[in-house]
Amino acid sequence: MNHDLIIKITNRVSIYATGALIYWIFVFLTIMVFDLKIFRERMTEMFFLSLLGIFAILGGAIVLNVMSNLSKISAAVASSHQPENASKSKTKWPLLLVLVSFPLIAACLFAGHELSAQRKKTLLVGSAERLISENQPALASLAEYKFSPEFVKSAGHTLNILNKIDKNFPEVMVIAPDTIDGKALFLGFGGRRYRDDDEKIEKSAYIYSTSRDERDYLSGVFAGTEGSYRFRAEKGNYQLYFPTTVGGKKMVLYFSDFQRYGKFGS
C-alpha cells in the first residue's frame, strides 16, 4: 500500500473540508450580522442547516486523526521519501487567494441582497401602478377624504377588498393629512387594523406615526412639491409610498411587505 499517497489524499481532504467549513461560517455570519435577504425560503433553510457545520467539523476531526496515524506509519516505512527542501514561495499564492476570496464573497452577498431589494421594489411599483389603473372608481371614494364614521367604514371596506386583489400587497393603507387640536399630522386608514363595530371612532386612533423624513416627504406630496414615490427596504421590511391623483384630489397609498427571505435561489 502506498502510504504517501494515502497521506497526500487525506491531507487534501482535510484542507478542503476545513476550508469549506471556514467559508460556510463566514457566509453564515455575514448574512446574520447584516441581515441580508438573498435566498428563497427552502434554500435559506438548507443553508442555515446546523448539521452541515457539525458534520464538517466531525469529518475534519476524523480525517486529521487518520492523517496523523498514517504519518507515523509513513515515517517508519518510507522516511527516505520525505522531501528535504520545501518551497515556501509556493504557499504564498494560495494564502493570498484565500485572503482575497473573503471580501469577494462578502461583496457578492451584499450585491445579491441589493438585487433582491431592487426586484421587490420593481414588483411593488408595478403592482401599485396596475392596482391604481384598474380601481379608479374605488380610489375616487378614498380621495374624497373627510374624517367621519362613514368615511372610516367605507375606507376600511374598500381597502380590505383592494388588499385581497394582489397577493403582493399584504398591507395597503391610504394616508391623508389632518389636524388634531391645531397640530398637523397624518392619518392612516386600512392596513391590518381590526375594529369592532361598537368601537367609538376617534381621530387619535388613526394617527399614522412617521419619522421626520417621512413627515417631510408626505408634507411635500400634499403641498405639491414632491411627486415621486418613496421606497425603503430595511431588515426584510419593504415600504412603498405611492402618491397619485384621482378625480383631481391628491392621495398617498402606502404599501408594505415583510419577507424573511430574499428572491434568489431555487
Going by pLDDT thresholds of 50, 70 and 90, the confidence category of residue 184 is very high
Give the pLDDT confidence score for residue 19 in this predicted structure. Answer: 77
The yes-or-no verdict on residue 80 having pLDDT over 70 is no
Share the mean pLDDT of the chain: 77
The yes-or-no verdict on residue 185 having pLDDT over 90 is yes
Q: Give φ, ψ of 259 to 5 degrees.
A: -135, 130
Let me know if domain 121-258 sits in CATH 3.30.1050: no
Give the pLDDT confidence score for residue 40 in this predicted structure. Answer: 54
Going by pLDDT thresholds of 50, 70 and 90, the confidence category of residue 94 is confident
Going by pLDDT thresholds of 50, 70 and 90, the confidence category of residue 59 is confident
Q: What is the pLDDT of residues 141-154, one digit of tens each?
A: 888 888 988 888 88
Domain boundaries, the chain: 3-79, 121-258
Which of 4-13, 111-120, 146-155 has the highest average model confidence (pLDDT)?
146-155
Which amino acid would we find at residue 51?
L
The yes-or-no verdict on residue 113 having pLDDT over 50 is yes
Which amino acid would we find at residue 126?
G
Mean pLDDT of 11-20: 72
Torsion of CA 147, 139, 226, 210, to 10 degrees: 50
pTM of model > 0.75: no
Nearest to 13 by CA among 59, 51, 53, 71: 59
Give the pLDDT confidence score for residue 5 in this predicted structure. Answer: 64
Give the pLDDT confidence score for residue 265 in this predicted structure. Answer: 43
Q: Which of 102-116, 160-174, 236-250 has the lowest mean pLDDT?
A: 160-174
Q: What is the pLDDT of residues 205-252, one digit of tens each?
A: 899 998 999 999 999 999 988 889 999 887 778 889 999 998 888 999
Distance CA(142)–CA(208), nearest Å, equals 16
Distance CA(260)–CA(266), nearest Å, equals 15
Going by pLDDT thresholds of 50, 70 and 90, the confidence category of residue 82 is very low
Mean pLDDT of 124-150: 87
Going by pLDDT thresholds of 50, 70 and 90, the confidence category of residue 70 is low
Give the pLDDT confidence score for residue 234 in this predicted structure. Answer: 79
Look at 128 and 73; give whichever has higher pLDDT: 128
The yes-or-no verdict on residue 2 having pLDDT over 80 is no
Transcribe the chain into DSSP letters.
--HHHHHHHHHHHHHHHHHHHHHHHHHHHHHHHHT---B-HHHHHHHT-HHHHHHHHHHHHHHHHHHHHHHHHHHHH-GGGS-S---SGGGHHHHHHHHHHHHHHHHHHHHHHHHHHHHHHHHHHHHHHHHHHH-HHHHHHHHS---SHHHHHHHHHHHHHHHHH-TT-SEEEEEEEEEETTEEEEEEEETT----TTSPP-GGGGB----HHHHHHHHHHHHTS--S-EEEEETTEEEEEEEEEETTEEEEEEEEEE-SS-SB--
Going by pLDDT thresholds of 50, 70 and 90, the confidence category of residue 195 is low
